[in-house]
Structure 1
Amino acid sequence: MTVVGIAVSMLLFAALTLVLVRVVRGPTTLDRIVAVDVLLAVVVCAIAAEAAYTRDATSLPILVVLSILGFIGSVSVARFAPWSRR
């Protein structure tokens, strides 16, 4: 199980690094907003992986709140994005 935990941690760290690069170097504001949404998804995956690894369900309410926050943020950005970029 330790090998799987290390592999998941390395993949999540790689995803986090790539997303942070997109947040910093994104050419438009919409690119940065999408990258922040993906960053939130990576954080949710990391918390879920930690909960699965430790077999502890106390972080599930945090996962629900972060997932709802990401959904509402994505929908609100999509609602107010300019039509020329869709």
Structure 2
Amino acid sequence: SNYSTITRNSHYYIIGHLSSVVKPGAVRIGTSGFSDAGFSFSAFENTDGTYAVVLLNGNAASKTITIDDGTHHFAYDVPAKSVISYRWKK
């Protein structure tokens, strides 16, 4: 086989987002209040006291989401066909 060409698929970029905000020892935490076909997300609590969220919007349209951890509250427009990640302190 010729290994001179590398093709990066969507999983490559999702893993990049996860590794940038979810740190070793993190625990996946529950989420609530939102469900939409073509939209996936997971939330984590890192050992350094930060929260992390990774969102995948597989839809053809952008979607505005709101994150509220009981202390912080913010909204973000997730572009169509994109993956985004957030990390913030409690």
More helix by share: 1
TM-score (norm 1): 0.34
TM-score (norm 2): 0.33
More strand by share: 2
